[in-house]
Amino acid sequence: MGPTAAGKTDLALALSDHLPCDLISVDSALVYRGLNIGSAKPDAATLVRYPHQLIDICDPSEPYSAAQFRRDALAAMAASTAAGRIPVLVGGTMLYFKALIEGLADMPSADPQVRADINAKATELGWPAIHAELAAIDPESAERIHPNHSQRLSRALEVYRISGITMSEWRARQSAQSLPYNVHQFAIAPSDRSVLHARIEQRLQQMFAGGFIDEVAGLMARGDLHPDLPSIRAVGYRQVWEYLRGDYEVEAAFERALIATRQLAKRQLTWLRGWPDLIWLDTGETTESQLNKVLMHSGAAVYQ
């Protein structure tokens, strides 16, 4: 795992040359067919030589969730291990990694009427009164949520009103979904943030020069896609879509995409800084050095 443009794919391909690996993509943009250039999807020749699971499995008109990813990833991992191979998950969608490792509670969907009732009561009595109500039914969640955090309070109380099950119980059920694997977790990133920013800008320039605008124009020409879909909200795609819609000039689209990509990398690094049991690799290291660390820490040296 790691931030965008850190070198995850290159390392995964090199690892496949040393171990009997099955690569499984962990990327919320790569699941979509037709999102190729702007998602930095490996090209067709690379995918023939190094097949990836969970790439091109969804039409851009279809939302794809973390729960769907967990289901699909577990199936791919099971098939890989059944064949005597090693499933290697590679990507930068941290929510997907979290869902896979920690599980997902099948909590009830939002109910507008229940939420409206809670908000009405909060308007009348104040959010501390909502916090007190939550404390009476779910003291564990109430202790975790600040009395002024209206959104989290509302959701915790909403879940209980809809299902009769507290948020704490849902979380306990989630934590019981342990993975039946010995998991080794690695993150790759440059030690210098400016190096990552330079790599991001260089790659974005290559995307724009390589037909990214035409790719988004083709998606727009379909007529059934719109900016509220997860596929079109992907970093870079949203900015180019807005340019093609006439919102601003192409130079502004590039700058906005660049800023958005850097912000994505920052969020990814924030996730990773708090990630437990993580072994860090430096983008600036040689591939051989990176591989040696992976093999040493994973106990896979027998395959060398």
Q: What is the pLDDT of residues 115-160, one digit of tens each?
A: 999 999 999 999 999 999 999 999 999 998 988 888 889 999 999 9
Q: How confident is the model at residue 301 (pLDDT cuts 50, 70, 90)?
A: very low
Would the pLDDT of 94 be above 90? yes
- Determine the average pLDDT of the residues in 43-48: 97
State the residue for tokens 């090693």.
Answer: 86
What per-residue confidence (pLDDT) applies to 110? 81
Task: Specify the higher pLDDT residue, 179 or 143.
Answer: 143
Long-range contacts at 9-12 (CB < 8 A, ≥ 24 apart)? 9/40, 9/42, 9/90, 10/287, 11/90, 11/188, 11/281, 11/287, 11/290, 11/291, 11/294, 12/50, 12/88, 12/90
Structural domains present in the chain? 8-104+178-303 (3.40.50.300), 112-175 (1.10.20.140)
pLDDT band at 302 (very low <50, low <70, confident <90, very high): very low
Residue owning tokens 């064949």: 83
Model confidence pTM above 0.75 = yes
Category of 223 on φ-ψ map: left (φ > 0), alpha (ψ -120 to 50) or beta: left
Q: Enumerate the β-bridge partners of residue 195.
A: none
Q: Which element (helix H / strand E) includes 186?
A: strand 185-189
* C-beta neighbour count of 52 within 10 angstroms: 24
Mean pLDDT of the chain: 93
The better pLDDT of the pair 300, 37 is held by 37
List beta partners, residue 189: 282
Give mean pLDDT, residues 260-283. Answer: 95
DSSP, collapsed to helix, strand or coil, labels residue 131 as helix
Q: How many CB atoms lie within 10 A of CB 74?
A: 17
pLDDT of residue 103: 84
